[in-house]
Each structure stands twice: as structure tokens, then as C-alpha cells.
Amino acid sequence: MAASKAPRGGAPTGATPHATAHIVDSTVGDAPMFEASGGDWSDIAEEAARLGEERIVVNMGPQHPSTHGVLRLMLEIDGETVTEARAGIGYLHTGIEKNMEFRTWTQGVTYCTRMDYVAPLFQETAYCLAVEKLLGITDDVPERATVIRVLMMELNRISSHLVCLATAGNELGATTIMTSGFTGREQVLRIFELVTGLRMNHAYIRPGGVSQDIPPGALDNVREAIVGIKHSLSQLQDLMLANPILKARAVGVGNLSLTACMALGVTGPVLRSAGLPYDVRKSEPYCGYETYDFDIPTATEGDAFSRIRLRLEECYQSMHIVEQALDRLQLIGPGPVMVADKKIAWPAQLAIGSDGMGNSLDHIKEIMGTSMEALIHHFKLVTEGFRVPAGQVFQSVEAPRGELGVHLVSDGGTRPYRAHFRDPSFNNLQAVSMMCEGGQIADVVVSVASLDPVLGGVDR
């Protein structure tokens, strides 16, 4: 943290002009305002102290651990009390949405998966569902591909919540909570690596389905991982929910009422902690979520501790959905995982290569050696891409941090005319001032951690 003590409207610490200090006392509305110019800083501070008006502005971040390295919080404090809190964003801006306008529809997956890097599979799914709406092929996506999408998203929801709980504990000085949470998350990432070839930024979900089927034995590996994840969640419950120190830090901290959530567009666990059971999987089902059995945990306290408890409960609900998806995949059996239309289907439907990435050698051999038509089609599809009818569409999914929406506009070409994402962290961060003002400066860390913002999705 870097603090500066200055009269209102004054210069920051370090101002060193050598003229005589000059302070103009004026009034703006009901609040007195002071303008300092010239002079030695000690003279200015002395004069401001004599007038009895001062403020202390604290910059928390953008390098502070609790701000995830790229969030700036500008706090005005009176002693230990926060009188004003503002969030500064833009330190992680990547231009992803603009870059997507210069890549094909399929290549867009590689971009949007990198926004919220803790929950990449939700962005891939939302984007691909929107593209499929524009193409009019929503009902043509194979059932096996849809179930795989649900399986991967719910595993990703668990890993995302575990990151939130682990980092929140670490920011409060509880390293054991961090190690326990990341132990559980590691088991999920091993599944991702087995299925997609990557631990994050997968580009696994594609328009029309998924890039390749899950490998043999993966279902058994997921069932084994669930046992270890449940063990980690049980440890986290003991370490967090029954911990009197953590409860003293989190109960009644970062309060946000249902009215405030509705006014600010806050969604996800933060909204549900205020009592509203809003979940896109129930309100506007996608990927067949209406056919799965699961509950929407809620609370009424609207504080940081209730959000911790809700995320733990949501992990158990996600595991229940994962178990149902595993049963369905075994019942469905082997089958296609991409639409049958070869003008859309990305040509990577066989097993991944021996290096764990890319097309299998058998698929490459077929394209390059036995079919000139397949080679031509592969070249056209990869370099130019498929055309999407002109129009626009909005699609939302329930991501770990709340409602994630994507607005796509097509002019009939092979790449998006416009792609814009409604990231939940962006909306949720608006609540920082309401949660922090009037509280202690130490509670700012707890409040921000309970929002679980990921700045990659905020800045885009």
C-alpha cells in the first residue's frame, strides 16, 4: 500500500516547489475544499492541519496480493475506517473482443477462453452456443457433445470455487486453507489435461460440439477424482466454517442487500447470498440443464461468510451433476461429438496425437494421403472458416461468478462483426464501494475476496 496525506484538492506527497505555501479555502456545495499550490509540503500540511480538514488516500494495488495483482482500489480513510472506496480497472486489458473481429468463428474460441482464465470452459460454451444459434444448428449438436460440455463446465465450476476459497484463506493469513483448496483443484486440472490436452485455455468446446471425444478410461478417472475432491471440500469446511477466527473476520462483513444487488446487476453467489435463487441453469436452461437434478443454494445474510458457505455447497451440487453426466455418457456410449455438416465441423474428431495435442496421426494421414477432396476442404475450413448468416444473438450461461453473457453480431462473413461479453466480475466489482465504505480497512480484503473477481474477464 502507498499512502498520501493531503488537503482536499492538494498535491500528493513529494511536491517540492519552493514558493511560499498558499491555501485557498472555498466551499463546494456543503463540503469545504482546499487548493494548495507552491511552497514546501511541510508548510502546506501544517496549514491544512490548522484548518482541521484533511484526508488520507490509500492505494491498495494494483500490486497488492489481495487485489490479484491487477485491481487498483483507491481508499479514502479516516483512521481505520474507509470513508470512500473506488475500484480502478484496465491494468490487464488485452483487446480480446476486438481481436476476435479479425479471426474466424472457430478461432474466436481460442481468444474468449483466455478472458476469465479461472473458468475458461464457460466462456467457450457461451460463445459456441451463440454461434450455433446464428447458424441454426442448436438442435443438431450431438447429445454426447452436450453432455461432455456439462461435465466439463461443472468440473470447472468446482475448480473455480476452490481457487476462490483457497486464495481468500491465503489473503487472510490461513495458508492451510490455500494448500487444501489447491490440492482439490489440482485433481480437476489433471482431468482437463487428460481430456483436452491443456490445464487451462483449452479451446476444447467448438461451434458444433467439442474438438474430440473424451479418451478411454477418462470416466473412471473422473469418478476417482471426485473422491479426492470431496475430501478436500471436507477439509475446507472444517478449516473455514468452524474456524472462529475466520468467522470473526467474515461474519457481517461486506454486506450487500438484495436491493443493492438488483440495482447493480450483481449475480452469482453474491446475489444468492442475499436470498434470490437466480441461476441461469434454472431460469433459462441450456445444454439440457433442465433434465439434471440439482438445487440452488441460497442464504439471507448477504455477507462474506455466507458467500463462503454457498460456494462450498455449490461444489457439492456440481459434483452431483457431474455424477449424472458420467452415467449418461456411459449410457449413450461412443458416438459423434461434432455436427454432421462437414461445412461447419472442425476436422479434429479423432483421438488427440501422441504428444497430447492436435490431430491424431491417423486423421492427418487420411487428409494428406488418401483424399484430395478432404485436403481441399480442410484447407478451406481452417484458413477461411465457415460463413455465418447475418444477424445478432445473445446467449448467457451461469458461470462461477454469475451470469456470463455473449452478444454476437454477424454480417454474413467468416468472422464476427462484433463480439461483446457481459462478464459477471465487471458488474460485481461495482459493489466494492457499497460493501467497503463505513467498514474497517482490513475488511476491504475480505469484501473483495468474497466477490471473487477475475480481472481477465473484467478488462477483456
For residue 209, the domain's CATH number is 1.10.645.10
Task: Give yes or no: residues 455 and 432 share one domain.
Answer: yes
Counting the structural domains of the chain, the total is 2
Half-sphere exposure of 54 (CA within 13 A, CB side): 16
pLDDT digits (tens, 9 = 90+) for 241-298: 888 888 888 898 889 999 999 999 999 999 999 999 999 999 999 999 999 999 999 9
Residue 271 lies in a domain: yes
Q: In the prediction, which pLDDT does 56 show?
A: 78
Residue 367 lies in a domain: no
Task: Give yes or no: residues 35 and 140 share one domain.
Answer: no
Task: Give yes or no: residues 117 and 34 share one domain.
Answer: no
Backbone angles phi, psi at 5, to 5 degrees: -110, 120
Q: What does the alpha-carbon distance between residue 404 and residue 424 come to, in Å, rounded to a whole number?
A: 6
Task: Give yes or no: residues 79 and 129 share one domain.
Answer: no
Q: In the prediction, which pLDDT does 72 show?
A: 86
For every residue of 20-74, which 3-state class applies, written as one string? CCEEEEEEECCEEEEEEECCCHHHHHHHHHHHCCCEEEEEECCCCHHHCCCCEEE
Q: In the prediction, which pLDDT does 378 show?
A: 75
Q: Is 237 exposed, middle or buried (0-12, 13-18, 19+ CB in 10 A)?
A: middle
Q: In the prediction, which pLDDT does 383 show?
A: 84
| Helix, strand, or coil (residue 216) | coil
Q: Which of 375, 347, 384 is nearest to 211 (CA)?
A: 347
Query: Which of 37, 62, 88 is the last residue before a domain boundary?
Result: 88
Q: What does the alpha-carbon distance between residue 358 and residue 345 come to, in Å, rounded to a whole number?
A: 15
Residues of the chain under the 50 pLDDT cut: 1-26, 28, 36, 348-349
Structural domain for 77, as ranges: 2-88
pLDDT digits (tens, 9 = 90+) for 334-384: 888 889 888 888 754 455 555 655 666 776 776 666 667 777 777 888 888
Task: Give yes or no: residues 207 and 312 share one domain.
Answer: yes
Q: In the prediction, which pLDDT does 359 show?
A: 63
Residue 169 lies in a domain: yes
Residue 360 lies in a domain: no
Task: Give yes or no: residues 152 and 71 share one domain.
Answer: no
Query: Which of 35, 58, 88 is the last residue before a domain boundary?
Result: 88
Task: Give yes or no: residues 26 and 103 share one domain.
Answer: no
Task: Give yes or no: residues 74 and 146 share one domain.
Answer: no
pTM of the model: 0.83
Q: In the prediction, which pLDDT does 149 show?
A: 95
Task: Give yes or no: residues 317 and 401 share one domain.
Answer: yes
pLDDT digits (tens, 9 = 90+) for 169-185: 888 888 888 999 999 99
Residue 378 lies in a domain: no
Q: What length is written for the chain?
A: 460
